[in-house]
A = this chain, B = another copy of it.
Amino acid sequence: MTAEDTKEQIMRSAELLFARDGYASTSLREITDLAGANIAAVNYHFGSKEKLLVEILDQIIGPINEERIKLLDEAESESIPDVTQVLTAFLLPDLHVLQQLRSRDPSLPRFVSRMYSEGSELMYKVMGRQFAEAQVRFYAAFQRAIPGLSGEEIAWRLNCVVGIVLYLFASVQAPGMPPMMGEDVEDDLRRLLDVTVPLVSAAAGKVMTPGG
């Protein structure tokens, strides 16, 4: 096994076990056993268990935001994109990565949602670094596409969309539940847009509570 093979095997084994059991509950011993490598190889290739996690996170989250910006660039090059187009640019990369992770292993999508809610400092640092550029672009695009909503309200609603997406990642293989995503990315996107377009473009203060 060449050096690169070992490093690759360690990363693939680690993300699988992190997804299934969580970061803290997974020992380097389990990882290297699954990878067919020696424990010391982790510290040789990555430096520490934590740096191994960061490298895996970057590899997954990085491409999502790169593709998001690419799609938004394309949409904006033609005309001012509407809500559906902006949301598509935002969501499609998620679905692509979800599909790709799932094809590698059904329990892998859970890795993302799991690391988000576990990750404390570490995950927020990685996400902040990776999402910073896309965030500015998408906030601006949504503000153009949805008249009459404050920037704060748009940010809030986009967070709701993120919440739904993270739940999708968590629920791909939740025990005792029907899968929330199908085989076809286009179908999944349509279904997501059906609910998220009304979600982000709904008029504020429209609904009256029964008590009020």
The chain A residues found within 8 Å of chain B, CB to CB, are: 20-22, 24-25, 75, 84-85, 88, 110, 113-114, 116-118, 120-121, 124, 128, 152, 155-157, 159-160, 162-168, 170-171, 174-176, 178, 180, 186, 189-191, 193-200, 202-212
Contact = CB atoms under 8 A, between A and B. Distances in A.
Residue of A22, A113, A163, A199 most packed against chain B (CB within 10 A): A163
B124 A114 contact: no
Given A22-B22, A175-B124, A84 B208 contact: yes
Contacts of A157: 195
A166 B196 CA distance: 17
A21 B23 CA distance: 11
Given A118-B22, A166-B163, A199-B198, A211 B186 contact: yes
A212 B186 contact: yes
A114 to B, nearest CB: 5
Contacts of A84: 207-210
Nearest to A81: B210
Lowest 4 A-B CB distances belong to which pairs?
A163-B167, A198-B198, A24-B24, A24-B25
Contacts of A116: 117, 170
